[in-house]
Amino acid sequence: MESEAPQLQCDVQAGTRALGGPGDATATTSGLPSPGAHTSDAASISVCDDTNNGRPLAAFASPDPPPPPPPPAHPEAVLQWDGLSYEVDTKVGRTTSTRAVLNHISGEVHAGEVIAIIGSSGAGKTTLLNALSGRIVGGRLTGQILFHGAPRDPGSFKRLSAYVQQDDIMHTRLTVHETLSYASRLRLSDTQYTAAQKSQRVADILKKLRLEGVQHSQIGNAKTRGVSGGERKRVSIGTELLTSPKLLFLDEPTSGLDSNSSQVVVDLVKEVAREQQMAVLVTIHQPSARIFNTFDRAILLSQGHLIYFGPPTEAVGYFAGLGYQCPVLENPADYFIDLMTLDHHDGQTLAASQARISGMAHSFIQHRSKQVSAGLVKDRRLASVAGTVSEYSEPYRDMTPRNMWYIEFWTLVRRDWLNLTRNMEFLVSQVFQSLATSLIVGFMFFYLKHDSISVQNRLGILYIIVINATFPVIMPTLNVYLQERDIMLRERAAATYRVTAFYAAKGTTFTPIALVSGAVFIIGVYFISHLVFTAGKFFIAFGIYACLNVVAVTFALMVGSYIRNVDVGFVVAPAIVTIWLLFGGLLANPSTTTPVLRWLRWINPVYYAYSALLQNELHGMAFECDTLGQCYTTGEQVIGVYSMGRFSIWGNALLLLLNAAVYYALGYVFLRWKVKPRYIWI
Ligand SMILES: Nc1ncnc2c1ncn2[C@@H]1O[C@H](COP(=O)(O)OP(=O)(O)OP(=O)(O)O)[C@@H](O)[C@H]1O
pLDDT digits (tens, 9 = 90+) for 301-335: 999 999 999 899 889 999 998 899 988 888 999 99
- Mean per-residue pLDDT of the chain: 81
Convert the pLDDT of each residue in 446-458 to its tens digit.
888 877 778 888 8
Instruction: Please tell me the distance from the alpha carbon of residue 29 to that of residue 24, in angstroms, as a whole number.
Output: 9
* Amino acid occupying residue 5: A
pLDDT(419) > 90: no
pLDDT(641) > 80: yes
pLDDT at 577: 94
Taking CA atoms only, the protein residue closest to ligand 1 atom 24 is 121
- Note the CATH number of domain 44-396: 3.40.50.300
Confidence of residue 248 (pLDDT cuts 50, 70, 90): very high
Q: What is the mean pLDDT of residues 132-159?
A: 86
Instruction: Please tell me the distance from the alpha carbon of residue 618 to that of residue 643, in angstroms, as a whole number.
Output: 13
pLDDT at 203: 93
Q: Which atom of ligand 1 is nearest to the CA of 139?
A: 1
Q: Where are the domains of the chain?
A: 44-396, 405-412+424-674
Confidence of residue 494 (pLDDT cuts 50, 70, 90): confident
119 lines ligand 1 (CB under 6 A): yes
- Residue 560 CA, ligand 1 centroid: distance in Å: 27
pLDDT at 291: 92
Residue % of the chain over a pLDDT of 90? 35
What is the Cα Rg of the chain in Å?
32
Convert the pLDDT of each residue in 263-285 to its tens digit.
888 998 998 899 888 999 999 98
- Residue 330 CA, ligand 1 centroid: distance in Å: 27
pLDDT at 377: 62
pLDDT at 371: 74
Burial of 20 (0-12, 13-18, 19+ CB in 10 A): middle
Q: What is the mean pLDDT of residues 110-115?
A: 92
pTM of the model: 0.76
- Residue 675 CA, ligand 1 centroid: distance in Å: 21
pLDDT(135) > 60: yes
Q: Which atom of ligand 1 is nearest to the CA of 283?
A: 22
- HEC profile for 362-429? HHHHHHHHHHHHCCCCCCCCCCCCCCCCCCCCHHHCCCCCCCCHHHHHHHHHHHHHHHHHCCHHHHHH
Contact 247, 231 (CB under 8 A): no
pLDDT at 611: 95
Q: Which atom of ligand 1 is nearest to the CA of 129?
A: 18
139 lines ligand 1 (CB under 6 A): yes
Instruction: Please tell me the distance from the alpha carbon of residue 654 to that of residue 662, in angstroms, as a whole number.
Output: 12
Convert the pLDDT of each residue in 440-493 to its tens digit.
988 988 888 877 778 888 899 999 999 999 998 999 899 889 888 888 888 877
Conformation bin of residue 122: beta by default, left when phi > 0, alpha when psi is -120 to 50: left
**b/e map 136-158, b = 16+ CB within 10 Å:** beebebebbbbbbbbbbbeebbb
pLDDT at 66: 52
pLDDT(543) > 70: yes
Among 15-19, 435-439, 549-553, which range has the highest average pLDDT? 549-553
pLDDT at 506: 92
pLDDT at 24: 36
pLDDT at 629: 60
- Residue 124 CA, ligand 1 centroid: distance in Å: 6
**Measured in Å, how far apart are the chain's first and last C-alpha atoms?**
40
